[in-house]
Every structure is written in C-alpha cells, then in structure tokens.
Structure 1
C-alpha cells in the first residue's frame, strides 16, 4: 500500500510541476516572481479561423479620449475575416450623420477576458502603410496595481508609423514619462523590418526584464535595475493585450484620406508560460 501511495504522490508532484501558471478570477494567468524557465508551454491562442471575433477572448475597442483611440469603432466595416486572418482597418467614414468623425478604425483587446503575468507572446501580422497610419500591438495592466496611468506601465510590442521601414518597441511608465528617466535604462529601440511580408512580433517577459523580439530574434531588452525609483518596474502584475489599426495623433501626424483604407492583417496570436 505504501508503494502505491508513493507512486500516486509522485504523479501528483509531476502534474503540479507541469502546470505553467495559476489562473485567477478565471482569466488571469499568473506566474510567480521566481519564474526563470524558457521551456514555454502554450496557454492561450487565437488563429482567427472563424468568420467573426471570438467574444470569449476579445472585445472591439471603443472610442478612447486619447490620440490612439480617437477613431476606434465597432463598425463592421473596420473588421474583416478571410483565409484564417483578421483584418483591422482604418477607413474614411462615409456616414458622418450617424458619427461625425472623419475616420473610423478597428481594434480588439482582451481586457477582462485574458491577462497574463510573465511569459512569451507572439503575434504574426502584416502591416500596410498610409500617411497617418499607426498600427500597434501593445499591453496595459489589467488591475492597475499602482494607481492611474502611467503608474502601471505600458508595453509596446510593436508600433509602426506611416510608410516607415522600422518598428518601435517601447516601454512607458511613470519613471519614463513623469520622471523623464529615458536613458537609465534606454526605454525603446527601433528595428528594420520587411513591411511587405508577414512578421512575428514578440515579447519574452521575465520578473527582471522585458525581451522584445522580431521573427524570433531578440531586438531590445529593458531590464529591471536597482537603486532607482521603484516606479521603474511596474511590470509585476497581469497585463492584457491590445491590437489596433490606429489613425492620426500627435506622433504620427494627420491621415491622408487618399491612402485609405489601410489594414493590419493578423494571422495568429500565441501566449506561452
């Protein structure tokens, strides 16, 4: 009998060890601050094989009172589905009676439906170009552990402007935005990419560093450092994902309606822990 108890205990221990994270509130995938392993296991994905958004995973981003969210809309014309891909569009608004905004844009986020703390995320997508186009793949804190923005930080896995052949990969926080600490350590980097092709934009997130990637290759690392204001590292809480085809803003400039519509074509999203 003792032999069988031992075997059962071993099976339970092995099973527990293989669980990459614990799930809180039914949708937050949390790992401990001690996690270091790179033996990633897939915990969440979307291949966009259905002819509509999976509302168990995503919500269409509503209008926001910020540069990036001025034209966000749930209008079906801002979303398309074909060949297992999601098309997020920036378009000229043809019905300014119902909605006076000159442009409409499509975006989705996992807020309230999926968030994770530490792990690896990859998004395969193709970016079209236009004057004023600002597609972005980024992350914000789910629980706002440290108060109002920018206290909880922002992780920009990818941003692209206009017709550039580079992407921006960036971190924002109270430390970088309010305390202006942008070189200790450097808070962003640009990397060349082939905008005519699909690319895989990624992040490996550890308790002590954010490692940004492009097509599986490391491009930029933002480390947690000692001896500075604690607001330098708000990245110890679950974040949710945003994917959106933005238009206009102080950074990207005005849109040219002759360049529209413009699209970000998303093939898949995968998250590992």
Structure 2
C-alpha cells in the first residue's frame, strides 16, 4: 500500500540487476531529515582522543574483520552481555510523528518487545501494535552523546528482515545536526535494506549539495542474495577525502569529495554518532504492500566495531 521512488547507483553487470538496484538506491533512504536532531535519552558523554566514546571491552585482534592495514580497534559492542543494549553505548530516539518520511511506526523507548540482546546478538523488531496514533512499533537506537567518531573504519555484521514495506538501516549522523541542521551536518548511510528488494543492499551519503528530499541523493547498491537469511559484514572506510562502502570486504561504491565546493560536498569533518533502526512504510525507498504475516520483523546485529589509525 506504500508507493515509492529512488536515486543514483553504481552500474551493475546485468541490465535487469541495474534496473532493480537503481530503483532501490535512487530513493535510498538515508533516514535523515528524519529527526536525527532529536536528543537521545539518556545521554552521558565521555571523550577519548579523536573519538567521543564510552569505554567498552575491546575484543581480541582476531576480530579485525576487514579493517585496512594500520587500523586498530578503538570501540566495539559485541552484544554479549545483558538482555538490553548497553546504556553506556546506546540511547533511544522515540516518537510516532512519522518523521520526515511519513513512516508508520512509533519508535519506543527501551521496550523489550522491540529491542533486546540475546545469544550475542542485538535484535531490533518492528511489530503490528496499535497505539494512539500508530499501527506499528519499532526501535531507533542511537549512540548520540555516548560513542561518536570522526573518521575511521566502521564495520557491522548484520542480517535483515523480510517483507515489503520494511526498511532496515545502520547509518551515521553528524553530531553538529542540532546546531547547523540537516543536511549541512552530513549523513553516512553505511547500509540499508528494503524488503521490497530482498537481495539488494545499498549505501548513500547526504550532503548540502545532494540529499534525498532534493531527489539528488548519491549512493550505491550491491546484490547480496542471502541478505535476509545470512549474516554479512557491512563496512565503511571514512578518510579526509573519501568514503568507501563494502560488503564482506569487497568495496562496491566510493564517494570522493568534490573539488571547488568546500565542505558542501564533504561535510564529514566532525564527530558522527551511529544509528540502527527498522522502519515501516513511508514515502522514501522501495515500499510495497504491508502484510501482517511479515511481522514481527527483526534485524539482527552481531557486532558493531570501530577502527582508527
């Protein structure tokens, strides 16, 4: 019941794949003018060199994954403790106003039906659940004020839910958004998955020059046939000049700063916080018919890791 649209993708080998992935990423929703300026609660900032981050147990060197040579693990959440996300690492952005994409869910604040930790996995679940103004509930988990980083290699191992109308994402927002607004603060959509196209994943950037609501968003996509059934490693290497997006160590899209535009094309010069969410419906990205049998719809994250030089 939810119509959609899309923007800017890398070329694919087969024409059918090109058509499919372009639909997915031309509208690729980075989730932004989307209330990322809403303060997460609770927030207890801490600071460490080039990163603002809560101190968590750093895992052994054999968890390096696909981090480039010369990068070391500086922060991670392995989701091995407790039954809810660590309050040292994560807070919540809640509300059911539809955000800017006219989404249908109410984001709950630490509701165990919508979010939890078990068996070494983080679970974020969208439910058919009637509230005063919404027909669905879900979670929007954020590291705002707790774990914020400027540059580095970011890696997430995740598996996505199935079902048309579902959008699952792990992304990052410039913490300056509260002061200068979006899209000036910038946004890095590390990975997005739309249930409409189960075998496609995508990435995108939102900048003052190119952003989704201007219908000029830039992004890439890749066929991952088992995105819903198996875990895959999604990465982003963020340097002063470039963003490289990868799946299982294979780079599939690169974004370079555009010369002669200053920070307008590359507003990635300050700390960003991380966001994980599952949304329902909306006017951005491939939608489709919402079917009750597709709920509950859960995204699972095995770990989140940040590496820096």
TM-score normalised per structure 1: 0.80
Which residue does 2:172 correspond to in 1? Answer: 139
Task: Determine if contact 1:28/1:114 at 8 Å carries over to the other structure.
Answer: no
Which residue does 1:213 correspond to in 2? Answer: 246
Which of 163, 182, 191 aligns to 1:130? It is 163
Which residue does 1:268 correspond to in 2? Answer: 303
Shifted more, 160-169 versus 59-68: the winner is 59-68
Shifted more, 113-122 versus 192-201: the winner is 192-201
CA deviation vs aligned residue, 1:70-116 (integer Å, no higher than 9, x gap)? 521122210132211111001011x53xx431000123110011100
Task: Determine if contact 2:211/2:218 at 8 Å carries over to the other structure.
Answer: no
Task: Determine if contact 1:146/1:234 at 8 Å carries over to the other structure.
Answer: no
Give unmatched runs, 5+ long, in structure 1: 1-24, 32-36
Which of 65, 71, 75 aligns to 1:40? It is 71
DSSP-derived class of the 1:258 partner = helix
Which residue does 1:84 correspond to in 2? Answer: 120
Task: Determine if contact 2:206/2:212 at 8 Å carries over to the other structure.
Answer: no
Larger Rg: 1
Alpha-carbon separation, structure 2, partners of 1:207 and 1:111: 22
Task: Determine if contact 1:109/1:241 at 8 Å carries over to the other structure.
Answer: yes
CA deviation vs aligned residue, 1:32-67 (integer Å, no higher than 9, x gap)? xxxxx8411111000111222100110123126332
Task: Determine if contact 2:124/2:139 at 8 Å carries over to the other structure.
Answer: yes
Task: Determine if contact 2:233/2:247 at 8 Å carries over to the other structure.
Answer: yes
Task: Determine if contact 2:127/2:297 at 8 Å carries over to the other structure.
Answer: yes
Task: Determine if contact 1:139/1:241 at 8 Å carries over to the other structure.
Answer: yes
Alpha-carbon separation, structure 2, partners of 1:175 and 1:69: 28
> Is the alpha carbon distance of 1:69 and 1:257 closer, same or farther for their aligned partners in structure 2, counting shifts above 3 Å?
closer
Alpha-carbon separation, structure 1, partners of 2:296 and 2:119: 19
Which residue does 2:223 correspond to in 1? Answer: 192
TM-score normalised per structure 2: 0.71
DSSP-derived class of the 1:197 partner = coil
Task: Determine if contact 1:130/1:162 at 8 Å carries over to the other structure.
Answer: yes
Give unmatched runs, 5+ long, in structure 2: 1-44, 52-67
Q: What is the aligned length? A: 238
Which residue does 1:7 correspond to in 2? Answer: none
Alpha-carbon separation, structure 2, partners of 1:77 and 1:146: 33
